[in-house]
A = this chain, B = another copy of it.
Amino acid sequence: MSRAQRLNAEEVAKRLNGLPGWRVNNDTLSREFTFPDFVHAFAFMSSVALVAEAMDHHPDWSNVYSSVRISLTTHDAGGLTELDFRLAEKINALYTR
């Protein structure tokens, strides 16, 4: 009953190709983001939180001072889906502004 279907290895590789900075490991899409300080890091996290809530697709993420690490997967599909790649693209757009 998942909202999105698990992508196969070929589809993942293709999608990853157009997604700068992210890596795939163990059915997880992840990237680390760095900022000048905690204030900028947390402002970025706020923007990601809004986008994630609007998609109803939430990251597994951590922050230490000026660094934010984000991991994405679709638990109820047992792997990566379009949702993960769409959220990753939105996160990249928020980062590169």
Give A residues with C-beta under 8 Å from B.
Answer: 36, 38-40, 42-47, 49-54, 56, 58-65, 94, 97
**Nearest Cβ in chain B — how far from A58, in angstroms?**
5
Q: Which residues of B have CB within 8 Å of A46?
A: 42-43, 46, 49
**Nearest Cβ in chain B — how far from A16, in angstroms?**
23
**Can you add 15 more A-B contacts, CB < 8 Å, to A38-B50, A50-B53?**
A38-B58, A39-B51, A39-B53, A42-B46, A42-B53, A43-B43, A43-B47, A43-B50, A53-B53, A58-B65, A59-B63, A60-B62, A60-B63, A61-B62, A61-B63
Offer 16 A-B interface pairs, CB within 8 angstroms, sorted by A: A38-B50, A38-B53, A39-B53, A40-B47, A40-B94, A42-B46, A42-B47, A43-B46, A43-B50, A45-B45, A49-B50, A53-B53, A54-B56, A58-B65, A62-B62, A62-B63
